[in-house]
Amino acid sequence: MSLDCRFCCVAWVLVLVACGEPNPDSPNIAPGEPQVELGYLKQGQYTTCAPNSDAPVIWGAQAGTWLMPVLHTRGVASPTLVEARLTLAEGEPLGEFEFVYELSMTPDDWLETDAFRVPVQHAPPNQFESVEDVYGKSAVIEVRISDDADRSADLSLAITLVEGD
């Protein structure tokens, strides 16, 4: 066996030892019935969004205005398909999207992502107008999560849009 071949074999063994082989029979899933919740990190502590709680609208680093809550799930495996829709209580749609997230386990047995972003933008033909006029208004955020095993959970939460820091 050549030196290059021995090096490759040793490197492969180190990768398997360091990372372990993936186990498709053991999905990344938090225990419990399927559920989803949203919250925010405040001084390093996660706080669940209560009905009608404030939801800060933030100017994104790469432009646009967004809600950026933390998404928590149980009973649905990662990777997780997340579908979200934000609508003013008076009916104007402000944003929607879907994305597949790789979620991480928290110490208290939830899967989470803090990269969850919901766009906040007026409906056409006013999509390029400022959203400052939505501050203080009620809105509803709807979230559906699902995985490849057809486990799913839904959340519909009334929130108050506020100007973010």
CA 120 – CA 129 distance, rounded (Å): 11
pLDDT of 60 reads: 82
**What tokens were used for 25?**
């029979």
CATH number at residue 127: 2.60.40.2550
* Closest listed residue to residue 34, CA positions, set 141, 144, 156: 144
pTM: 0.81
Cα 69 from Cα 86, distance rounded (Å): 13
Residue written as token pair 């398997």: 16
Residue 123 DSSP class: P
pLDDT averaged per 10 residues, the chain (length 165): 41 36 62 96 90 94 89 96 97 96 94 92 94 97 97 98 93
What pLDDT shows up at residue 2?
45
What total of structural domains would you count in the chain? 1
- pLDDT at res. 26: 53
Residue 13 inside a domain? The answer is no
Separation between Cα atoms, residue 12 and residue 158, nearest integer Å: 51
pLDDT at 43: 87
Residue 3: inside a domain: no
The predicted structure's pLDDT at residue 133: 96
Give the distance from CA 5 to its chain's centroid: 43
Specify the pLDDT at position 165: 80
Q: Is 62 a member of any domain?
A: yes
What pLDDT does 22 receive? 41
Task: Supply the range of the domain harboring residue 77.
Answer: 27-163
Both structure tokens of 13? 């063994």
